[in-house]
Amino acid sequence: MNKKGILIVVSGFSGAGKGTLMKELMRKYPENYALSISATTRGPRDGEVDGREYFFLSREKFEKMIANNELIEYAKYVENYYGTPRAYVEKMLDEGKDVILEIEIQGALKVKEKFPDTLLMFVTPPNARELKSRLVGRGTETMEVIESRMNRACEEAEGMSAYDYLVVNDELDDCVEEMHSIIQGEHHRSSRNVNFMNDIKEELEELKGEN
Amino acid sequence: MNKKGILIVVSGFSGAGKGTLMKELMRKYPENYALSISATTRGPRDGEVDGREYFFLSREKFEKMIANNELIEYAKYVENYYGTPRAYVEKMLDEGKDVILEIEIQGALKVKEKFPDTLLMFVTPPNARELKSRLVGRGTETMEVIESRMNRACEEAEGMSAYDYLVVNDELDDCVEEMHSIIQGEHHRSSRNVNFMNDIKEELEELKGEN
């Protein structure tokens, strides 16, 4: 069966709990998965560590990476670049790890276009009311903030159907197991096992000759 | 998430152990799966029970079912009809069970054409040499029998890539869990959850209005 890693993009509603989910998946299955770390030109915030949350790069360095095709995808928000360094992803895939990128929908679609075998997963709370209550938070947010979050959620919802799988994050543990099981299942897709099929066909023809 | 059952076709090399696999899957997960029973006009063999191995029908009855569109697919081998009665399959799907048809490739492709959501799984031994040794059996078969089995296996191998998933039957227990996990994962496909996505979108719009 397919031993090469699968490139996986995980997106989801803000507040769907992607971060916690990814951390738990990595903790439970460190042999299976590698989490890609994005590069950015924005400065680190309190508590952020270079090489853990992001690779913090100068604008000059980032633009050089763009020019050298060293990024799988990148985008500019406000004044800052964000992108996925290619080298780490390819190294991990070759080692047989499934590599997870946690990026939003525009980036996800760009990756899928470049690498059609990419697996797109979308994380969602069980229903809209639960999503809203997570977005509203502890009641300390202004009307404006909540409204802008709800608008963003509506936009995110429009993108859902572009993803291959939906994962409902209700109970963290169940959700982690669901994701793991979906990804492991994907390794059995015949389209990911063309070599295996060709080997069987060739060997069968050879063995037929041995009679 | 998708509560309606998935229609699943399981095919595979002769000697790949499909029968045992299906029995074990049904035994371990009786709540999840229903095995479709084919209808045939051939007579029962020793030990075969009507309604267990097959529904044994008269040719007249079978042709009436064809005329009434009561079969999902059917085929004629030598002088006998074989087919899949529609009513049982639809009833089980509506009850939320995943329904498994164990049929060969021509039938599988017909079903997929009629019902594009059908999940096609192909069961294979881990490699060609293992397959051959299963086909050769205990050394009691004639050259001719073995040769004809190998020819058939080569034909079957040509069909593999039309299937969605490959399942390697090396250890029975592992293989059962693999199949179960693939099928459960499929329930999370976004294409199988259009209602869920539409509900979230509509509810979000409504909740936005509530601010």
Per-residue pLDDT at B149: 87
What SS3 state is found at A169?
A: coil
Cβ burial, residue B53 (10 Å; 0-12/13-18/19+): middle
Closest Cα in chain B, distance from residue A79 (Å): 30
CATH topology assigned to domain A7-35+99-209: Rossmann fold (3.40.50)
Task: Give yes or no for residue A163 having a pLDDT over 80.
Answer: yes
For residue A136, CA distances in Å to A129, A133, A140, A154, A169 come to 10, 5, 8, 15, 17
Confidence at residue A142, expressed as pLDDT on a 0 to 100 scale: 86
Contact A188, B119 (CB under 8 A): no
Cβ atoms of B96 and B103 within 8 Å: the answer is no
Contacts of B194 (CB under 8 A, 6+ apart): A161
Q: For residue B185, list chain A residues with Cβ-Cβ distance below 8 A.
A: 165, 178, 181-182, 184-186
Closest chain B residue to A169, measured at CA? B1
Verify whether the Cβ–Cβ distance A163 to B190 is below 8 Å. yes
Which pLDDT value is given to residue A146? 86
Predicted local distance difference test score (pLDDT) of residue A45: 93
Is the CB of A186 inside 8 Å of chain B's CB atoms?
yes
Angle at Cα A52 formed by Cα A89 and Cα A26, nearest 5°?
65
CATH number of B7-209: 3.40.50.300
- Spatial separation of the C-alpha atoms in residues B165 and B181, rounded to whole Å: 12
Measured between beta carbons, which residues in chain B are less than 8 angstroms from residue A122?
Answer: 190
Which of A146, A167, A197 minimises the CB distance to B211? A146
Q: What CA–CA distance (Å, rounded) separates A154 from B161?
A: 39
B92 vs A196, B3, B30, B108, CA distance in Å?
34, 12, 12, 19
Q: What is the mean pLDDT of chain A?
A: 92
User: Does residue B185 sit at the A interface (CB-CB below 8 Å)?
Assistant: yes
From first to last of the 211 residues of chain B, give the pLDDT tens digit: 767 899 999 999 988 889 899 999 999 999 999 999 999 999 999 999 999 889 999 999 999 999 999 999 999 988 999 999 999 999 999 999 999 999 989 899 999 999 999 999 999 999 998 888 888 877 778 888 888 888 989 999 999 999 999 999 999 999 999 999 999 999 999 999 999 999 999 999 888 877 5
Which residues lie across from A10 on neighbouring strands?
A102, A121
A153 touches chain B (CB under 8 A): yes
pLDDT of residue A72: 94
According to the model, what pLDDT value does residue A26 have? Answer: 95
pLDDT digit string, tens, across residues A81-127: 999 999 999 999 999 999 999 998 889 999 999 999 999 999 999 99
Residue of B nearest to A145 (CA): B211
